[in-house]
């Protein structure tokens, strides 16, 4: 991970990625470059491989025993499937937020500090600092600062999701993967998360799966359209939504199928 490579602005370089669940191929020869400090939206109909794709970027997909992977994914020039790469370390650089908010059944405080603690930060002062900056960055601080010791399951769904974002931020990742992070939330909570994503992209590279075309249009710089395991089209979001190159993309965004 040299500075020269960082300067190219490419975070991920996906090359010829194939993925199988047993006999079923879920990703077919994916090639794409994901850029730094941008929001990259992944869209496509249900079952087209969006979740599989983002879970491959932090190698969470390998927790499913039947998964087989081919091709490579370069993260700052280094193939994440190399033997020398430890998934634990990769995941401290690539955080993830899930479809359904999944805080731990612990206090707000313990949730945010989970990552720092397991990665060896013991100093109480540092803890407080991380707690405050992470919660502020996730736009949650003002709502919870007086009840940091309360259980996370006492929060609303939207607050829980922002807590999960704060939890991910607390290990200082470079990339945040989000798999339909607002699909379980009401419009107001969704709005808050979208505003948050707009702020976060200053410091982070965000890859977000979304079911909602409007959401992709509102928040993303680049959009990747997947269909049945293939990357059909990948371009600037404005281009994809105004003048898609492929017929399937146009059909999808105009709601003709999906």
Partner 1 sequence: MENQMKIAAKGAMASRKRENLHFSINRSNISKRVRRNNFYRVLFSLSTVFAIGMLMILLYQVWIDSVGWLTPGFLTRNLSIFPEKAGIHGAILGTVYLMLVVIPVTILLGVATAIYLEEYATKGRIAAFIRTNITNLASVPSVIFGLLGLAVFGRLLGLGSSILAGGLTLSLLVLPIVVVAAQEALRAVPGFLREGSYAMGASKWTTIWRVVLPVALPGVLTGGILAVSRAIGETAPLVVLGIPTLIMRIPKSLGDDFTALPIQIYYWTLDTVLTREYANLAAATIVVLLIVLFMMNSVAIVIRNKYQRRF
175 contact choice in Mg ion, partner 1, ligand ADP, none (CB below 5 to 8 Å, kind-dependent): none
- Helices 124-137, 108-118: axis angle to 10 degrees equals 120
Q: Which stretch binds partner 1 (CB under 8 A): 5-13, 37-45, 164-172, 202-210?
A: 164-172
105 contact choice in ligand ADP, partner 1, Mg ion, none (CB below 5 to 8 Å, kind-dependent): partner 1
Should residue 98 be labelled a site residue for ligand ADP when binding is judged by CB under 6 A? no
Residues contacting residue 124 through CB under 8 Å, at least 6 positions apart: none
Number of H helices, E strands in the chain: 11, 10
Long-range CB contact pairs, 116-121, < 8 A, 24+ = 116/170, 116/171, 119/92, 119/171
Q: Which of 4, 65, 120, 122 binds partner 1 (CB under 8 A)?
A: 65
Should residue 103 be labelled a site residue for partner 1 when binding is judged by CB under 8 A? yes
Should residue 161 be labelled a site residue for ligand ADP when binding is judged by CB under 6 A? no
Should residue 68 be labelled a site residue for ligand ADP when binding is judged by CB under 6 A? no
Should residue 154 be labelled a site residue for ligand ADP when binding is judged by CB under 6 A? no
100 contact choice in partner 1, Mg ion, ligand ADP, none (CB below 5 to 8 Å, kind-dependent): partner 1
Query: Which residue has tokens 């939206």?
Result: 41
As a whole number of angstroms, the distance between CA 36 and CA 137 comes to: 19
Q: What is the DSSP string of 26-53?
A: EEEEEEEEEETT-EEEEE-STTSSHHHH
Residues contacting residue 245 through CB under 8 Å, at least 6 positions apart: 233, 235
9 contact choice in partner 1, Mg ion, ligand ADP, none (CB below 5 to 8 Å, kind-dependent): none
Chain residues in the site for partner 1 (CB under 8 A): 58, 60, 63, 65, 87-92, 95-96, 98, 100, 102-106, 114-115, 118-119, 151, 153, 164, 167-168, 171
């Amino acid at each position: 991970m040299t500075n020269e490579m960082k300067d190219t602005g490419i975070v991920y370089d996906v090359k010829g990625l194939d993925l199988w669940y047993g006999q079923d191929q879920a990703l077919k020869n994916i090639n794409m470059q994901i850029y730094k400090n941008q929001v990259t939206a992944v869209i496509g109909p249900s079952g087209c491989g969006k979740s599989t794709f983002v879970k491959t970027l932090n190698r969470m997909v390998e927790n499913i025993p039947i998964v087989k992977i081919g091709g490579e994914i370069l993260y700052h020039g280094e193939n994440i499937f190399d033997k020398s790469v430890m998934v634990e370390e990769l995941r401290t650089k690539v955080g993830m937020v899930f479809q359904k908010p999944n805080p731990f059944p612990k206090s707000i405080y313990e949730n945010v500090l989970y990552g720092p603690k397991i990665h060896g930060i013991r100093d109480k002062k540092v803890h407080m600092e991380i707690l405050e900056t992470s919660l502020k960055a996730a736009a949650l601080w003002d709502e919870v600062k007086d009840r940091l010791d309360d259980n996370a399951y006492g929060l609303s769904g939207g607050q829980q999701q922002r807590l999960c974002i704060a939890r991910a931020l607390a290990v200082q990742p470079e990339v945040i993967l989000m798999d339909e992070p607002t699909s379980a939330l009401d419009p107001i909570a969704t709005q808050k998360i979208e505003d948050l994503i707009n702020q976060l992209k200053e410091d982070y590279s965000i890859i977000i799966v979304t079911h909602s075309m409007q959401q992709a249009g509102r928040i993303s710089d680049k959009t990747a359209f997947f269909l049945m395991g293939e990357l059909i089209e990948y371009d600037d979001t404005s281009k994809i939504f105004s003048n898609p190159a492929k017929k399937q993309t146009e059909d999808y965004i105009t709601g003709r199928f999906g």
